[in-house]
Structure 1
Amino acid sequence: MFNNQEHHKQLTDSSIQLDLYRAQQLFKTAIPSNISMLAGTALVSSYFYDAANTAITLWIIAMCFMAGARIITSRRFLHSQKINFTNITVKTWLNIYLVSAFMFGSTSASLVLFMPENMSPIDTSILYLALFSTIVGSIATLSASITTYLAFSSPIFLAAFFYYFINPTQMTLFASIASVIYFSFTTFSARLLNKRYLQNASLIIENEFLIDKLHDEIIQKELARQKIIDDQHTLEETIELRTKELADINEILVDEINKRRRIEHNLKHLAHHDVLTNLPNRLLLDARLNHAIERAKRENLQVAVMFIDLDHFKTVNDSLGHEVGDKLLMSVSNRLTNCIREDDTVARLGGDEFVIIIEQVHDIGNLDPLLKKIMSVTSDTISISEHDISISASIGISIYPDDGKSPEQLMRNADSAMYYVKDNGRRKYHFYTKELTTTAYNRVILETDLKRAIEHGQMTVYYQPQISLTSKEITGVEALVRWQHPELGLLPPKQFLFVAEQAGLLNDIGEMVLNIACKQMVKWKQMGIPIGTVAVNVSGSQIHQTDLVNIVSETLQQTGCNKEWLELEITEDFIIKKSRQAITTLQQLRDLGISLAIDDFGTGYSSLSYLKQLPINKLKIDRSFVKDINNDMEDASLVQAIIAMGKSLNLKLIAEGVENGSHEIFLSAHGCEYAQGYYYSKPVSADEIEKLFSIESEEGSYKLLGRMN
């Protein structure tokens, strides 16, 4: 099978090579043969020019054009041969030559069409001589391809044969018959030459193939011989290498043992140290705290445990990125380490929480200089990646044995003291007291009850009317969450929202209030109560941590509440801190058709240019400015400025915290459109809102007829 394939490949290669030889033979002789044709054209045209007048000029031009084109084609072939026929194949070149030969032969044959009538015998002889010599001349140059020869000579033979019919004389009849015999003879001769050419070419190709094959066999034998030599050298080198490996095996084993010991040491270090800061982790911290307690027992000394939490670290991490946050933690860990003695311990629990163990404490008062130093180094500006970062620390301290006799108690009590600092302004330190345990316990109980309240639907919504200062009608309500605690009764937001925020429950409560308020609006609309909108507060965490746009859209769809009935209130402070994300989310809500208001406006630092970027509808003036507008000129001026700013931006304005008639008169006089506060009504249940409208309906008007205080 292999021999057949090789033979077939050889035949295919031979055919391609034979075509190449043909092409080379034809194109190499094309230039001199075409020059000869031009010379013959010149002789014939000079002889017949007078007799044929200027009509033969067309034939001369055609012959020159064909000869020139064939010369140019030959040169392009030679160029294509140099680049291994990458653009045009050899087969295509042979076809090009065949076509050009036929066209050249036809052009040569057209000479008879330009001959005058009644030519003399001598002129007729010269004409036939030119035609026959052209045919015989092509035998030598075109015999490499019998097809090409016939393509060139056949038109000339036909011209010689049919010339009798153009100029019927006895001589042209004789010449026509002679042309048949002559063409048969030349064709036979061309076939013999072609046969010998093919035989010779085939022999040359076969010899070249055999020479190449012999050369390949010689190379293969040389490679085989060289491989034997290389294998012998390789064997010798392998033996030498194995001998050396055996000699070095003891050294390698020793290195492997040392390497394993280093790996075990590194693994032990990683198990007991924080990867980022290289400080002791919780596991090593527990071991060292146990050791410190045992030592303190023996020596009748004290141990201080300092629980440190970095203030606002999450803000830095979210705004500047985790890479900057990690560098900040490393910088702080180095500063804390430089504050303590060699026998003391700084550990990182995770996130932004650190713990310091101070051993051999004789007097608690001696801790104050160290605590002040820690507060100082954590408050100093830290430059990271072209950012100057200012943070602070909240520190809680517990003392062994007064605040606990086990690591767990000391850590828990230090943590309680730290949270006390967090809840009371941060940026300071506080020693543990027993009252903190009670507070922490109450916080845990409250958090547990709050989770249960969300699960069992104990959260309810109260509504505070919003009044038009022009018509004194109720135009809308603000939805305010309340907790109906089974033991403590109705709790306002300030008693549980801070716990909800720390426990991560704020988003759940926000979604629940939104759902209840939308359902209530649908019910009121079905009852015919003309409340225009319900305003629902949205916390910063809802915007930052949830897909608020989809939540609002799904709530509207599920409750059947129209988008025109809902207004969302977002605090000014959060929008400023998260401006880019806030603007994107607010714009998406506006695209849904939701009305938006900025709550507590004036407490932040919004500028007119910044407000222009926000897709909002309403500004809500904070109650802290409304409270003293009749007594404090600064508050009055500020409220007037806010109203002017809102009107310049075509925003609606509502003031909260309106508690008396003088507030209402001032706001109305300066162009504020809406108000809410205890002057009109405290937050009440949905049933009381319905009763209010029922009473007003009986009077034939939905204006606020009385105060619901």
Structure 2
Amino acid sequence: MLNSPVGEYQPRVLLVDDEPRVLASLLELLNGRGYHITTAGGGREAIEHLSRTPFDLVVLDLHMPEVSGHDVMDFISVRNLDAQVVVTSGATEIEAAIGAIRQGAYGYLRKPYPREELYKTVGNALQQRRLESENQRIAQQLKRSERMYRYLVDSSPDIIYTLGPDGCFTFINDRVQQLLGYRREELIGQHYSTVVYEGDMERANYVFNEGRTAFSQSRSVELRLKPLRAENEPRTFSIVMVMIQPGTDSDSVKLDARHKTEGGTYCVARDVTERKRADEQIAYQAYHDILTELPNRALFKDRLGLALLQAKRNETNLAVMFIDLDRFKVVNDTLGHGAGDALLQQVATRLKACLRRCDTLSRLGGDEFTAVLPELSDRQDAALIAGKFVDCLRQPFQVAGQPVHVSASIGVALYPYDGSQQEELVRNADIAMYHMKSQGKNGYAFFHASLLETSYQKIVLEHDLHMALERGELEMFYQPQVDISTQKIIGAEALMRWNHPARGFMGAGEFLPFAEESGLILPISDWMLEAICRDFLEWTALGGDSMRLSLNISPQYLDRGDFFEKLKNALVRHQIPPGQIEVEVTENICIRNPQNAIDQLDKLCQLGVSVAIDDFGTGYSSLSYLHRFPIHTIKIDRSFVMEIQDSGAQFPVVLAIVAIAQGLGLNLVSEGVETAVQAKYLADAGCRIMQGFLYHQPMAQGKLVELLSAQASGGAELHTLN
């Protein structure tokens, strides 16, 4: 009945209730919802309607006098009427619902029921009715098309075969030779075990033997079938089976005359080997890191959760380790991402070799690894494995044809002492790892409660830094640069200070790392540009037209790509000549993203701004970048200057840097000059411009303005420590 085109057929619904008011209410609720509704005021009237008219659904009250709802359901069952039944009742006993369901009711509504529940139950019952009707229609179409099977079988891409009651092949198409190498004649009369892979034989026996006891069923199973050539790998097939009853007539499924009396099994086997492999690969990749083939974050959490359950049950210890490679970013940026990937693979292999079979090493991403170590006796067991991790990385790695050294900072958290939950243990191991990094890297550290306070202080400091810009707590200090031949200030390096309301003045090294991590370095750098431009205008007003202002630029700020435009706009807005501005960058900027750095620095040079390399010689530099990059000045790092303690000794690194600058025609500035011995040695070596405590400490804008004013009037004494 439900096969009519949409819009032409209305489901026929019979409403049965002996209470007129309830029946009227039910009719009102369902009327206008696209149903053809008939009502019956009792069980006897309902049976009369059912005898004359087919219905798709009967909404039936159970408790009615004379002829009850159960009697009506018995009538439907005995007459084999094709109708769904939804029973309603005011009875609260569960037995009423159970009895109705056992009699074949689709659903049960206990009075009083919400209208939404009525609509949902009626709609679902009719939907199931439609699906069953559609299935019947499809089944009828399939039955009519069975006569075409003989032609289709031989051209099918699947293996089609039939088995007799004894499990032997009675028919098989030619596809078996293409997929497995058997000729059909070789298999006719052979038992199915001839082709089933030994590892799947138990499942095959269960399915085929059970199938012959339930002829009306069809089923599917995946089995591996073995090719004729033993050296070939088994192939996986999805097999759909339909049971053929003995005595099948000529219109039923048959591919061989013997089926008519013997019965058997009709099967279609589709080769799903490649799909299976793809599914397995997808499933593997969902839980493993593709690069290192280690468990990924999802599998790590699963393994850690299981290990925690076992540790709680067995009252044993467990360790979580957070492993972060030191200097990996330098290697990755210098040698390229391909070399970085190769290094990670080698690191993973070494770390995994240090673990027991019950341990899990995973890669979270980047250069971060984690490890779960269950069943530990004590803290020393974890320390032993952590020590193995550190030791295994000491030997150089061969990457891109050259040796590469990396180390690791490892944090360790122990269950149950450092936490009982996954997130808590991972967090505390991470905190311990960062503590290890702050202590010099290349080692391991166990978590302890005091580290939480340190981490909390970092969070507080980061919050305060957010507020520092709004509150105007940042200030610019300047350290003068002196031309020792004239003893005059010729420039100054801009240095940021934070006047923290509780901690007092803080140097850039104390808070800029937090700004880098949190992304605050960008708005802070924007503020710095405006601040130094305003200050610089005061210098020029005092006759400092030849003064040079040096400013340090964060790698993040340069990488954003809009630094050039911001600096250019600031200089135009304040009418500052670009030739008096020098941008200081570290040499690592030149190797972390070389092409981007070249592009940015070239633009600065075209604008007229000069470029200085700060801390020259302290990074992992190559002299080739001095030729590739538009550099005007080299600054000798204070670490090399501090080594100069004896004017009669030789300091080859300093001499080499001076020689490089002179050979390339670059300006040279020594920073961190604190003693007369250092100043004399550097001057004798050929360095003319110096900055350091011997001459001036970093100072506020007001103090620098006083010095420049005194210098303009000829009264400044610049050769002594201020």
Give the TM-score band, short-chain normalised.
0.5 to 0.7
Give 1:419 shift.
0.9
Q: Structure 1 pair 250/644, CA: closer, same or farther in 2 (3 Å)?
A: closer
Q: Structure 2 CA distance, aligned partners of 1:253 and 1:403?
A: 55
Match of 1:12?
none
SS, match of residue 693 in structure 2: coil
Match of 1:449?
464
Q: Structure 1 pair 624/296, CA: closer, same or farther in 2 (3 Å)?
A: closer
Question: Cα deviation per residue 1:8-31 (whole Å; 9 max; x = unaligned)?
Answer: xxxxxxxxxxxxxxxxxxxxxxxx
Give 1:405 shift.
1.6
Q: How does 1:352-501 map to 2 (within 5 A)?
A: 352-383=367-398, 386=401, 388-454=403-469, 456-501=471-516
Q: Is residue 241 of structure 1 aligned with residue 256 of structure 2?
A: no
SS, match of residue 293 in structure 1: helix
Q: Structure 1 CA distance, aligned partners of 2:709 and 2:341?
A: 61
SS, match of residue 303 in structure 1: strand
TM-score normalized with structure 2 length: 0.58
SS, match of residue 289 in structure 2: coil
The amino acid across from 2:416 in the alignment is P
Q: Structure 1 pair 704/597, CA: closer, same or farther in 2 (3 Å)?
A: farther
Kept in 2: contact 1:375–1:392 (CA 8 A) = yes
The amino acid across from 2:437 in the alignment is K
Give 1:606 shift.
7.0
Q: Is residue 336 of structure 1 aligned with residue 369 of structure 2?
A: no
Q: Structure 2 CA distance, aligned partners of 1:309 and 1:268?
A: 27
Kept in 2: contact 1:652–1:673 (CA 8 A) = no
Match of 1:658?
673
Match of 2:6?
none
Match of 1:683?
698
Q: Structure 1 CA distance, aligned partners of 2:660 and 2:271?
A: 77
SS, match of residue 375 in structure 2: strand
Q: Structure 1 pair 262/687, CA: closer, same or farther in 2 (3 Å)?
A: same
Q: Structure 1 CA distance, aligned partners of 2:695 and 2:375?
A: 64
Q: Structure 2 CA distance, aligned partners of 1:683 and 1:569?
A: 17
Kept in 2: contact 1:608–1:645 (CA 8 A) = no
Q: Structure 1 pair 339/646, CA: closer, same or farther in 2 (3 Å)?
A: closer
Which of 688, 699, 707 is the equivalent residue of 1:692? Answer: 707
The amino acid across from 1:701 in the alignment is G
Specify which structure has the higher proportion of helix.
1
Q: Structure 1 pair 283/610, CA: closer, same or farther in 2 (3 Å)?
A: closer
Match of 1:533?
548
SS, match of residue 555 in structure 1: helix
SS, match of residue 699 in structure 2: coil
Structure 1 unaligned segments of length 5 or more: list them: 1-234
Structure 2 unaligned segments of length 5 or more: list them: 1-144, 162-217, 221-238, 242-268
Q: Structure 2 CA distance, aligned partners of 1:605 and 1:342?
A: 39
Q: Structure 1 CA distance, aligned partners of 2:587 and 2:522?
A: 18
Give 1:294 shift.
2.5
Q: How does 1:67-86 map to 2 (within 5 A)?
A: none
Which of 578, 582, 592 is the equivalent residue of 1:567? Answer: 582
Kept in 1: contact 2:311–2:375 (CA 8 A) = yes
The structure having more radius of gyration, on CA atoms, is: 1
Q: Structure 1 CA distance, aligned partners of 2:372 and 2:522?
A: 37
Match of 1:45?
none
Q: Is residue 701 of structure 1 aligned with residue 714 of structure 2?
A: yes
Q: Is residue 297 of structure 1 aligned with residue 335 of structure 2?
A: no
Q: Structure 2 CA distance, aligned partners of 1:540 and 1:687?
A: 30
Question: Cα deviation per residue 1:154-200 (whole Å; 9 max; x = unaligned)?
Answer: xxxxxxxxxxxxxxxxxxxxxxxxxxxxxxxxxxxxxxxxxxxxxxx
Kept in 2: contact 1:573–1:603 (CA 8 A) = no
Q: Structure 2 CA distance, aligned partners of 1:358 and 1:620?
A: 48
Q: Structure 1 CA distance, aligned partners of 2:586 and 2:471?
A: 29
Which of 514, 530, 535 is the equivalent residue of 1:515? Answer: 530
Kept in 1: contact 2:488–2:711 (CA 8 A) = no
Kept in 1: contact 2:538–2:705 (CA 8 A) = no
Q: Structure 2 CA distance, aligned partners of 1:362 and 1:608?
A: 52
Give 1:283 shift.
3.0
Kept in 2: contact 1:466–1:676 (CA 8 A) = yes
Identify which range, 293-302 or 404-413, moves more after superposition. 293-302
RMSD (Å) for aligned C-alpha atoms: 3.8
Match of 2:363?
348
Q: Structure 1 pair 241/526, CA: closer, same or farther in 2 (3 Å)?
A: farther
Kept in 1: contact 2:334–2:591 (CA 8 A) = no
Q: How does 1:277-316 map to 2 (within 5 A)?
A: 277-316=292-331
Q: Structure 1 pair 535/464, CA: closer, same or farther in 2 (3 Å)?
A: same
The amino acid across from 1:621 in the alignment is I
Q: Structure 1 CA distance, aligned partners of 2:714 and 2:427?
A: 61
The amino acid across from 2:501 in the alignment is P
Q: Structure 2 CA distance, aligned partners of 1:273 and 1:354?
A: 13
SS, match of residue 487 in structure 2: coil
Give 1:479 shift.
0.5
Specify which structure has the higher proportion of strand.
2
Q: Structure 1 pair 666/361, CA: closer, same or farther in 2 (3 Å)?
A: closer
Q: Structure 1 CA distance, aligned partners of 2:147 and 2:593?
A: 71
Q: Structure 2 CA distance, aligned partners of 1:236 and 1:298?
A: 60
The amino acid across from 1:516 in the alignment is A
What is the count of residue pairs matched by the alignment? 473
